Amino acid sequence: MSTITSGAPPKKDRTHYLYIAVIAAVCLGIAVGLLFPSFAVQLKPIGTAFVNLIKMMIQPVIFCTLVIGVGSVASAAKVGKVGGLALLYFITMSTVALAIGMVVGNLIDPGSGLQISSESSQVGQEAASEGHGSTTDFLLGIIPTSMFSALTSGVVLQTLLVALLVGFALQRMGESGKPILNVIVWAQKLVFRVLAMIMWAAPVGAFGAIAGVVGETGVDALKSLAVIMVAFYITCVLFVFLVLGLLLKLVTGVNIFKLFKYLAREFLLIFSTSSSESALPRLIAKMEHAGVEQATVGVVVPTGYSFNLDGTAIYLTMASIFIADAMGDPLSIGEQIGLLLFMMVASKGAAGVTGAGLATLAGGLQSHRPELVDGVGLIVGIDRFMSEARALTNFAGNSVATVLIGHWTKTVDRPQLDRVLDGQDPFDETRMIDDHAAPPPAAEGEKALV
């Protein structure tokens, strides 16, 4: 057990400078993209490298968090209740998002009058080859080649499966499982330390990502597609603040604006990288700090990143209707429902991955309406910008889901949640990297192990 020097002054939080630098980097990236487009395109790999560094840490974070959470809970049925309720909620909200996207897409009819070029046709066919896959392939893909490969495969659902198995195994081991659990607790400290080091590269990554996309697409290329892009953003905003916000307020009494203020830095990180995965480790840490039990956070957040894709659902519906209208072959209501339900299943596990939405869209069209695949190239120019809205909406949905599931399963410390959202107990940015910080209280975990 490490000791803490009583007279040691508290570490000063300097991370606010980091996020000021991210804002400045985004503005600078936009300027460079507009003024020097050719040069800006060459900076795109910088943004890709930063996102890849973050994604490198996703599976270790999920594994450690979920194993510690599940392994420290006495009853496996409690974890099963959380997971079952979470999946039911995710399916319900995805259906609502699909319905909203379908209604808006049919109302605005944004694709009329556009023409398909040969280049757009080729892009659509290439994307379809990446996104095509059966439900059976998806289910088999959840099982890793080996238990250890689940930490390196890049497939979040594989990590989730192995972490649950290990957590339940530690439950059954009882007292003999405590040393293993303690090792994983310290491993989590190491993972968060590495993650904190990577985060200091965020301004550079944000600059490269934004400069690259602005330099590649420019402003003129977006004008003809502004209707669907603006409509998509408005639809996402309405879904988040009206549907999710109203649900959160009615069920828990929590103000969604307070929750999003608490998660402001994470939203900024997602906006600058266009990947909701870049904020996943911080969402886990912040939800635990806000009073949601570790086991609940460990189940809901990773599962939500694969199954709670509200932004992606809205995108797939509107983009499909847009393409069908643009090609003069509108989808009937029955065709829309069948196609989009298929896409909702096919998209699982692709949350937060830039470009995954485009591949899923093309793959779904290839399976149901092959003649429409050529139209995918119509939206490739704005997909990157719509990807940001998808990622932000998905993240918002998962943060709200964590609070809701915690409330329904009585696994949230409501006084602590209120203190945190009122700003009385701010999140300590150094808590994930403090050398002197002890691991989560072993006594609680030890008492829980049976």
Place of tokens 């695949």: 373
Q: What is the pLDDT of residues 210-230, one digit of tens each?
A: 787 677 766 654 555 677 778
Q: Tokens at residue 173, please? A: 């081991």
Claim: this prediction has a pTM higher than 0.75:
no
Pick the more confident residue, 226 or 11.
226
Helices marked H in 253-290 = 256-262, 264-273, 280-289
Average pLDDT over residues 141-152: 79
Which of 79, 60, 82 shows the shortest CA–CA distance to 70?
79
Average pLDDT over residues 55-73: 74
* Residue 386: predicted pLDDT: 76
Strand, helix or coil at 237? helix
Residue 401 CA to residue 89 CA, distance in Å, equals 8
Average pLDDT over residues 416-432: 81
Residue 385 CA to residue 303 CA, distance in Å, equals 25
* Residue 366: predicted pLDDT: 65
Count of CB atoms situated within 10 Å of the CB of 96: 17
- Tell me, which fold does domain 74-168+221-448 have in CATH? Proton glutamate symport protein (1.10.3860)
* DSSP letter for each residue of 54-85: HHHHHHHHHHHHHHHHHHT-S-HHHHHHHHHH
Q: What is the pLDDT of residues 316-361, one digit of tens each?
A: 888 888 878 777 777 777 777 777 776 666 555 444 444 556 666 7
* Residue 343: predicted pLDDT: 64
Average pLDDT over residues 270-288: 80
* Residue 269: predicted pLDDT: 80
Average pLDDT over residues 368-382: 67
Q: What is the pLDDT of residues 165-213, one digit of tens each?
A: 888 888 778 778 888 888 888 887 888 778 778 777 778 887 887 787 6
Q: For the chain, give every domain's residue range.
A: 74-168+221-448
